[in-house]
Structure 1
Amino acid sequence: MSKLRQFQPYLLLMLILPALLMLAPNSEAEEESGWEKWRPSGKSANFKIRERPKTKILSGTKTSLLIAATSDLHGSLTSTRLLLRKRSRGLLHLVMPLKKLREKYPELILLDAGDTIQGDPSSFYFSHVAPETTRPLPVIEMMNWLKYDALALGNHDFEPPTNILKQNIAQAQFSWLAANVSFRNVKQPLFPPYKIIERHGVRVGILGLITPGVPLWIDPEQRKGLNFKEMLGTAKKWVRVLREQEKVDYLIGLFHSGDNTLYDRDVASTRELPHPNAAGMIADFFPEFDLIISGHAHRISPKRRTEKLKGHQTPLVSPGTAAEGLTTILVNFEEKSGNWEITKTVYDFIRAEKAPEAQLLRKLDARLLKVEKYLADPTTVILKRFPKKTEFQDCGIALSFSAVESMEAETLSLLPWWWFRDKLPFSDLGQALRREHFFRWLPYDNRPVLVLMYGRQIKIMLESYRRKKLGWYARSSTILAPGGFVAELDNSSKDNRLYLKNPQGQALRPERKYRVWLTNFHWNGGGGLAAKALLHPSQLLKKEALHLRELIFQYLRQSTVKLPETCESFLTQSTTATLKTVP
């Protein structure tokens, strides 16, 4: 009987949630999609499949082709402005390396594997704070100046307002590719699936694919009506077109998808989504490709010059993140029996220059100054000393809860445990915390959402937190910290279960409902926690417009803010702070 009682909460959830599913409104049908009447413009417009004749190659001809690639730029411009960093990174640091390569290889092909317009404060500012309709985001402006040829859309590119993504596609002087994105039941892809480039007599096909795991991370309203199809079947379809109709000589897969098939596979399967990271599978099973450029995983491969790549049947390279360098592929061709034959390929990774290119930096200066003023806005809280790691994490958890609770009392929270602890300059000691600090500590654009949850669901979503408390491995993005209640290990039980109680010492009841703050990332399915806890759309109470880091920043701008006890050892409230807001 005791075992039956143990499973009663699970049985209750199984009985209740199907009923909620039947009662939940079909918001997809009721609301219009921002993508319904949209068609790509600019360099991404007017895609059309062509029946091309085979390339004519003179007998005995030899040639070479240089391909350069970046990925996961996340808006990064320079490590010397906005958020200063010791390690050189950003597109401005790649200007000189690219200039030297173009001097030797004027017909260089320059590509990017996605996650381009979200992440850097400059992208955030001109997407959410002060959009400029007459100019693209600074990162796209830089890519135009650097003469990129194409990029593959990434999941984070759907995070800014939809009109910002559309505007930047229109104003880009290169193509945005995504063969596996369609609108509702339309068979034709919404974005151009590929691009054809002819250089030195070699016809190059570039097929773009995005991870189909987008629904795990991006808000439904941002992707309403969009279908993200599995990559293998899509690749098979378009490879046939590119080889048989376009008759390309060299085929590149430009994929915003990692090559570790196991990563996020289980998370996606709970939502019946295809493999989010299928680039490696395509590299293993599609020899029709000559090269695959894989983004999304923020991995660099290879890290140095080599003529041999290990791991996959088709050569696969990964260019890293934030323009910390440039992956190059030098391909040598020779005519054999009327076709181009690859005789040698050299792979390399060129690190970013220490200093940004001065002339282009000056062209961006006026825009960067606006962002720097925005980042310089102070709170009323002073940094007394640099905190230890545990102090920093505990304070961050407490501040997150205090900020969301200030919007609505008698709520709980399950917010990210991780805050990124950047090393700050000594000049910050004795100074007010600024908005800049919260962009460092909370780099993701997460928003709070309020959810009506059962106590049993709360405990399920704290499983990674439990593992962390036991000293076991837990993926950092799945560790949620309790706010407004305590989660202690029950050492009396063999399986070290968590005991949940409110500040008064009363236990949280498994069958009772509680109002709980989550981030939209975890609510949407990131980390797989929502699926494990059987969260249902009908449990959503509201979404906040402010991002979590901005909410915490505004909370600490109050003239009489009460700091959590866990923060008082290294933070204190200023009695003389004068707040200035950037107009």
Structure 2
Amino acid sequence: MFRFLSPVLLTALGLGLALPAWAAGPVFLFGSDLKGQLSNQIQNPQSPPAGLLHLKDQILAQRAQGPTLWLDGGESLEGSPLSQELGEQSPFVALFLSLKPDVVVPGERDLAHLKLPLPWTAANLTLEGQPLVPPYRVFERAGKKIVVLGLIHSASSLWRTLPPGWKIEEPLESARHWVPLLRAQEHPDRLVLVLHAGRYEDRDQEAAQLLKTKPPLGAQAIGEQVPGIDLILHGHDGWLYPKGPNLAYAGTTALAGGGSLGRGMLALDWEEKGWSLRQLAPRPLPLEAVKAAFPPAFLELWSRPLGWRIRKSSKVKLAACLNSLAALAVKQPGAFGSALPEVYLKGSRFGLLYYAQLYDWFPFPDGVQTLALSKRDLSLLARPAAPFGRRKANPARRVFLSLSSPLDLSLDPWLVSGSDQERRYKILLSDYHLRGGSGILPMLFLPAQPEVGGKPLRTWVSLYLQSHQPLPPSCTMLEPAGPEAYQMRPRPKQVRLAKKPKSPGKGAGKRTSTKPAESREKS
């Protein structure tokens, strides 16, 4: 067994020295949902640094200090603009492979990349009843035996269509099977579950119920109902917790969340007294060093001028313009209209318009498809119902409905019948809605599962803007800008759209105490 001990630990044992803090076990590094984020400084230089490039030195330094296990909670390869443009050729993938994580649990968007040489681990991902990747991994660190079990939530169909023969079993049932089996067979000193599933209910809960599948949750339930797990590290919901030194618990099982987009990582020290927790913050890097890590072709695309200038406007007006612009960009001959996701704005860059801005407006890679819908379907899209017991509909189910001619959709959808129900209208919908991620798909009366794919919505908008065709009437804040305008002014900075400060009321200002000085000192 001594071949597994580090030289530092052997020396300490031989000389009778005090053991270092990590002698009770290795340090567990955990992060999740990196989404292919190399660095956010190209897109938003004023934001706090985030991304794998800013965490690399932290990972290497921790490994140099002593025995370490780097566990990744999944959803690591897709999502960022860099990953959407370059796929597996992204420098993020090269860096991720070179850093050699010890365990990677696939997220729903990682399922298309299982051929990459990564330590994929998932016990409930099967192909014709057999595990598609190793269900667990065994490590010897600092003389301790650690077993890491991997599980993924079973609602991946909300985002990706599984290949034929693939199946994802319910993680709670898989944990009930695997945990006692591993305890009996492997006799580990610590059994750690890395889970790609959230902890609490989120906006995907309703969509999963409508599709008759389990929601992408499980961390809390598994911790409470499956004994024998020492630590659950989970991702998917984007929470980086706990913030303080103490772990959260579900029953007697410790819980921690891995955050998202490389905004930080957790370092969990396995000490004799129990777990101790540290957060590793991304380190700032010079902007030139960040740019050097990106391919020149991507930087050129990122700063491509689109030939328009944005005048200052409110979020409401700009969002109305973008909704109408997207509907106009995807318009096709013979189509009656479109029902696309509403644009949600956190901020906007006023000034010259570049390709990078389209990722702020249309961040997802979903394409659009043409479907034949009835008047009942259109009424359901126009007025999405709220979940039982709630007053408002899920924001993800709201669509911007644009029709080529007026159509009365005021009638209750369930009262539509006869010729109105039989007639079909060609409507363009986004892939996100057709996969069911918003809960819209189960509402529609479709004969079969529609196909998805094609050009992303932002590509449609980019091509339309560069063609300089007429804009919607609501886009009064957009005006043409020639090449000379881009040569004179650099790319503008990110500006948050904030509300106007309220005017101070009567008596506003600095409060002063009416107590005497002596009483103020005593209090």
Q: TM-score, normalised by structure 1?
A: 0.72
Q: Which residue of 2 aligns with 1:121?
A: 81
The equivalent of 1:564 in structure 2 is 472
> 1:242 is aligned with what amino acid?
L
Deviations 1:49-78 (A, max 9, x none): xxxxxxxxx9x9962321111111011111
Q: Kindly tell me: are residues 313 and 399 of structure 1, through their superposed partners in 2, closer, same or farther at Cα, counting changes over 3 Å?
A: farther
1:68 aligned onto 2:21: no
The one-letter amino acid of 1:561's match is: Q
Aligned match of 1:79: 40
Check 1:417–1:488 CA distance in 2 against 1; reply closer, same or farther (3 A cut). farther
Q: Please list the CA deviations of residues 153-183 of structure 1 after superposition, one character each: whole Å capped at 9, or x if unmatched.
A: 001224xxx4xx145x23x4xx012221112
- List aligned pairs for 1:239-318, cutoff 5 A: 239-261=179-201, 264-306=204-246, 308-318=247-257
Q: Of residues 123, 134, 151 in structure 2, which corresponds to 1:179?
A: 123
The answer on 1:214 being equivalent to 2:175 is: no
Distance 1:225 1:108 in 2: 36
Q: Aligned pair 1:524/2:435, yes or no?
A: yes
Measure, in 2, the Cα distance between the counterparts of 1:556 and 1:409.
Answer: 22
Whole-Å Cα distance in 2 between the matches of residues 88 and 572 of structure 1? 33
Provide the residue aligned with 1:326 in structure 2: 265
8 Å Cα contact 1:420/1:442 also seen in 2: no
The verdict on how the C-alpha distance between 1:533 and 1:126 changes in structure 2, with shifts beyond 3 A counting, is same
RMSD, aligned α-carbons:
3.2
8 A Cα contact 1:93 1:357, kept in partner: no
- TM normalised by structure 2 equals 0.80
- Given the alignment, which residue of 337, 359, 366 partners 1:439? 359
- The whole-number CA distance in structure 1 between the counterparts of 2:288 and 2:143 is 36
CA distance in 1, matches of 2:288, 2:321: 40
Q: 2:379–2:409: 8 Å Cα contact kept in structure 1? A: no
Alpha-carbon spacing, 1:266–1:575, altered in 2? closer, same or farther (3 Å): closer
For 2:217 and 2:321, the matched residues in 1 are separated by: 35
Gap runs ≥5 in structure 2: 1-12, 414-418, 487-523
- Structure 2 CA distance for aligned equivalents of residues 420 and 188 of structure 1: 44
SS of aligned partner of 2:340: strand
Q: 1:356 to 1:280 in 2, by over 3 A?
A: farther
1:347 is aligned, of 249, 253, 277, to 277
1:377 aligns with 2:329: no
Matches of residues 438-477 of structure 1 in structure 2 within 5 Å? 438-464=358-384, 473-477=392-396
* Cα distance, 1:85–1:533 mapped onto 2, change above 3 Å: farther
1:10 maps to which residue?
none
Shift of 1:298: 0.8
1:489–1:301 CA distance, 2 compared to 1 (3 A):
farther
Cα displacement (A) at 1:86: 1.0
Matched-pair contact (CA < 8 Å) for 2:36–2:80:
yes
CA contact (8 A) 1:412 1:483 kept: yes
TM-fit CA distance, 1:79: 2.1
Q: Is the 8 A contact 2:203 2:394 kept in 1?
A: no
Aligned to 1:546: 455
Distance in 1 of aligned mates of 2:252 and 2:427:
48
- Alpha-carbon distance in 2 for matches of 1:577, 1:555: 21
Alignment of 1:183-202 (within 5 A): 183=127, 186-202=128-144
Query: Identity over the aligned pairs, expressed in percent?
Result: 24
Whether contact under 8 Å (1:414, 1:480) holds in the other structure is yes
- Counterparts of 2:441 and 2:363 in 1: how far apart (Å)? 22
Deviations 1:217-269 (A, max 9, x none): 21x3x634321111112122222332122222211111110011575344323
> Matched residue of 1:259: which SS?
coil
Indicate which of 483, 490, 507 corresponds to 2:402. Answer: 483
CA separation of 1:444/1:200 partners in 2, compared to 1, >3 Å: closer, same or farther? same
Look up the equivalent residue of 1:147 and give its one-letter code. Answer: K
Q: Relative to 1, partners in 2 of residues 1:557 and 1:377: Cα closer, same or farther, differing over 3 Å?
A: same
- Structure 2 CA distance for aligned equivalents of residues 115 and 349 of structure 1: 20
Aligned position for 1:505: none
CA distance in structure 2 between the partners assigned to 1:557 and 1:103 by the alignment: 51
| 1:78/1:88 contact within 8 Å kept | yes
What letter is aligned with 1:180? Answer: N
The answer to whether the 8 A contact 1:261-1:278 is kept is: no
Could you give the per-residue CA deviations for residues 2-42 of structure 1, whole angstroms, max 9, x where no partner exists?
xxxxxxxxxxxxxxxxxxxxxxxxxxxxxxxxxxxxxxxxx
Q: 1:95 to 1:282 in 2, by over 3 A?
A: same
CA distance in 1, matches of 2:356, 2:340: 21
TM-aligned CA deviation for residue 389 of structure 1: 1.1
Say whether the 8 Å CA contact 1:418–1:479 is kept in structure 2. no
Aligned counterparts of 2:313 and 2:164: Cα–Cα separation in 1: 43
Once residues 105 and 61 of structure 2 are traced to their aligned partners in structure 1, the CA distance between those partners, rounded to angstroms, is 25
- How many Å apart are 1:529 and its aligned residue? 1.5
Pair 531,70 (structure 1): closer, same or farther in 2 beyond 3 Å: same
Give, in whole Å, the separation in 2 of the partners of 1:237 and 1:142. 35
Shift of 1:310: 4.4
Instruction: Flag the structure with larger Rg.
Output: 2
Please report how far the alpha carbon of residue 461 of structure 1 lies from its aligned counterpart in structure 2 after TM superposition: 2.5
The residue number in structure 1 matching 2:95 is: 142
| Alignment-derived partner of residue 109 in structure 2 | 156
In structure 2, how many angstroms separate the alpha carbons of the residues matched to 1:357 and 1:291? 38
Give deviations 1:348-390, integer Å, cap 9, x for gaps: 323222336987x58x63x43221112222323322x133110
Structure 1 residues 357, 381: closer, same or farther in 2, change over 3 A? closer
- The one-character-per-residue Cα deviations of 1:472-523 (angstroms, maximum 9, x if unpaired) are 6443222111112668996xx9xxx69xxxxxxxxx9454311111111111
Return the alpha-carbon distance in structure 2 between the equivalents of residues 409 and 578 of structure 1: 38
Q: Distance in 1 between matches of 2:423 and 2:49?
A: 51
State how far apart, in whole Å, the 2-side matches of 1:224 and 1:519 are: 23
For residues 462 and 99 of structure 2, the distance between their equivalents in structure 1, rounded to whole angstroms, comes to 36
Deviation at 1:328, TM superposition (A): 1.8
Using the TM superposition, give the Cα deviation of residue 89 of structure 1 relative to its aligned residue in structure 2, in angstroms.
0.7
Counterpart of 1:476, as a letter, is P
Q: Matched residue of 1:208: which SS?
A: strand
Separation in structure 1 between the aligned mates of residue 470 and residue 165 of structure 2, nearest angstrom: 44
Aligned length: 461
* 2:505 alignment counterpart: none
Aligned pair in 2 of structure 1 residues 378, 312: CA closer, same or farther (>3 Å)? Answer: farther
Give the letter for the 1:269 counterpart.
Q
Q: Residue 375 and residue 409 in structure 1: after superposition, are their counterparts in 2 closer, same or farther (change >3 A)?
A: farther
Separation in 2 of the partners of 1:520 and 1:258?
A: 23
